Chain A
Amino acid sequence: MQYMLMAFVQEAGWMQMTPAEQQRGMAAYMAFTEALTKAGALKASGRLQPSSTATTVRIADGKSQVLDGPYVDAKEQLGGYFFIDVPDLDAAIAWAARCPAASHGIVEVRPLWLPPDQ
């Protein structure tokens, strides 16, 4: 069963950290990613640039409307994702709890649609 672990974090927090703290933060994420890889659970992962770099696009009246900024203007923004394949929700929750973002932000666990009848 495939799940997306979405890390919602306070973007301002990262900028306020000292270089040493940032390095420790990076190391924690790398260790987490490595643990997922070793367990054979990781399908893909990625870290997003700050929401200030985001652009939204929608079609209105047949024309595409492009706007600066993220879709949701919240204090916590999607900062990264881990796309994993594990047996069930409990396993996904256990991985989410080990994700560093769970300690300084929130991790949302979302199952992907199953192919029909599986």
Chain B
Amino acid sequence: MTCETATTLAQDAAEAVARRSYGKLVALLATQTRDVEAAEDALAEAFSSALAHWPSGGCPSNPEAWLLAAARRKVIDAVRRRRSAERSTPDLQLLVEELDSAQALTTAIPDHRLALMFACAHPAIEVGIRAALMLQVVLGFDAKRIASAFLASPGTMGQRLTRAKNKIRQARIPFRIPDRHELSGRLDAVLDAIYAAFAEGWADSGGSDVVRRDLADEALFLGRLVTELIPEAAEAFGLLALMLSVEARRAARRGESGEYVRSPSKSRRAGTRA
């Protein structure tokens, strides 16, 4: 195998894991450390060491577990670095033990993504940033990509996302699925944010903007995720059905030369199965 193929394979593997597991790994790390930004940083470093190691050493049999272990080491290193000048407290030991006990679970990584989504759409988080925050934290969108989708400057978007993540950490917004009696109100906020992401993706009527096109797909992914994780949430299924029926008509919105097609004459054949 040539060097380039190995690199490509490693990149493909990393991308596949990123797509499938990014949010799961961030959620797991963040629920343990209560720090979303630190979890993201650690995971980013883990991905970059994956790209450095996998081409030569081969792709591990369980890439997700490999990344989790690597990211966990980065989290612990970061805490140690920050503490090197301070007294060594029992907390660090506790953190190490906590993270190590999770290591035993590498075959079935617990899915805390829903708890993370509830933290992102917490009423204490500014309404306008919830959708963007969810896209970043659960799906790993970078601030630049989110900014272009939401028509904001990357700098402003980055600041707003950082402020929201700081609030989660500093005000100790919990990472948990709300109790039954408060679930419906809180779930609405999560669904609102998903729909906001979908609407942003849908707003590109020309269908030429790849970033926004992706956004609708990602919103569908999040919508599906909620229905999988809370199967009794009828509202979530309703939202998913709405998004799917809208998405199915995407290709029929414009004629061959890009002109707007009025609803009654939309070609049924141009619809797609999502």
Does A93 lie at the interface of the complex (its beta carbon under 8 Å from any beta carbon of B)?
A: yes
| A70 at interface by CB-CB < 8 Å | no
A114–B35 Cα distance when bound, in Å, is 13
**B91 and A111 form a contact (CB under 8 A):** no
Q: Does B172 sit within 8 A of A, measured CB to CB?
A: yes
Interface size on A, residues (CB 8 A): 12
Nearest-Cβ distance from residue A87 to partner chain B, whole angstroms = 8
Q: How far is the CB of A5 from chain B (nearest CB, A)?
A: 13
Cβ of B70 under 8 Å from chain A: no
Residues of A contacting B124 in the complex (Cβ-Cβ under 8 angstroms): 89, 93
How far does the Cβ of B71 sit from chain A's closest Cβ, in whole Å? Answer: 18
On whether A117 and B79 interact (CB within 8 A), knowing A89-B124, A93-B124, the answer reads yes
Neighbour of A111 across the interface among B79, B92, B172, CB < 8 A: B172
Number of interface residues of B (CB under 8 A): 16
Question: Considering only CB atoms, which chain B residue lies closest to A114 in the complex?
Answer: B170
**A3: min CB distance to chain B, Å:** 8
- Measured between beta carbons, the chain A residues less than 8 angstroms from B79 are 117
* Contact digits for A1-12, partner B, Cβ 8 Å, 1 yes 0 no: 100000000000
Q: Are B173 and A88 in contact (CB under 8 A)?
A: yes
Partner of A1, one of B82, B83, B123, B172: B172
Please, which residues of chain A bring their CB within 8 A of the CB of B174? 87-90
Closest chain-B Cβ to A76's Cβ sits at a distance in Å of: 20
Chain A residues within CB distance 8 Å of chain B: 1, 87-90, 93, 109, 111, 114, 116-118
